[in-house]
Amino acid sequence: AQKVTQAQTEISVVEKEDVTLDCVYETRDTTYYLFWYKQPPSGELVFLIRRNSFDEQNEISGRYSWNFQKSTSSFNFTITASQVVDSAVYFCALSVREYGNKLVFGAGTILRVKS
Amino acid sequence: KAGVTQTPRYLIKTRGQQVTLSCSPISGHRSVSWYQQTPGQGLQFLFEYFSETQRNKGNFPGRFSGRQFSNSRSEMNVSTLELGDSALYLCASSLPGPNQPQHFGDGTRLSIL
């Protein structure tokens, strides 16, 4: 079975601080895909990034960066110089080849960025 | 490019009734998935449709059903509504394959009285 754990329920930071959101996953499949989604107060889930299990390269996109480590089954997400607009719920998710497009989500981390 | 469209945005029903929710995917996306989001259980997968066939199903009772039409539009139906069915129902569309990012609609918020 697949499982995603986001141990941080809620994080509060002051604007311009860096913040890291943790994600730990479990799967027996050797081919899997990891995703991060953002859910602002309006409700829609916004896709941020996808990572394949066979590609451990870290990625940076503007103020966002992702650290994928298979050895610790983690796929952490860092926001540099946070802004109030980053306030949202962030979800980490996992899919495996056997179950097609089915996403298994973590519980989410509420990020509050204060000005 | 238009996003995923879900209708209606809000719905209020009473116990025992049934409800149908609609989802129009992004043009060209033939895979449509449905998720239920509640404060207690989080985001849970309901089912996925591709080319009018259900490919995967989550652990929900048979009261939850869905279908997909030839134009890839999808509907989900919940019969004999229970209070616990109150949730945000999200539809997502994508190209086929577990590596494809899913694009979500704004959701339908269903409240059961």
From chain A, the residues in CB contact with B100 under 8 A are: 101
Give Cβ neighbours of residue A50 (< 8 Å, ≥ 6 apart): A33, A34, A35, B99, B101
pLDDT for B1: 61
For A12-41, how does the pLDDT look when each residue is reduced to its tens digit (9 = 90+)? 999 999 999 999 999 999 999 999 999 998
A68 CA: distance to closest CA in chain B (Å): 16
pLDDT for A59: 82
pLDDT for B104: 96
Closest chain B residue to A91, measured at CA: B43
Q: Cis bond leading into A41, ω under 30°?
A: no
Q: What is the mean pLDDT of each run of 10 residues along chain A (115 residues)?
A: 95 97 96 95 91 85 92 95 97 90 95 97
From chain B, the residues in CB contact with A46 under 8 A are: 104
pLDDT for A60: 84
- Chain A interface mutation, best of B29, B43, B88, highest count of A Cβ atoms under 10 Å: B43
Asked whether residue B44 carries a pLDDT value surpassing 70, the answer given is yes
Nearest to A101 among B90, B102, B109 (CB): B102
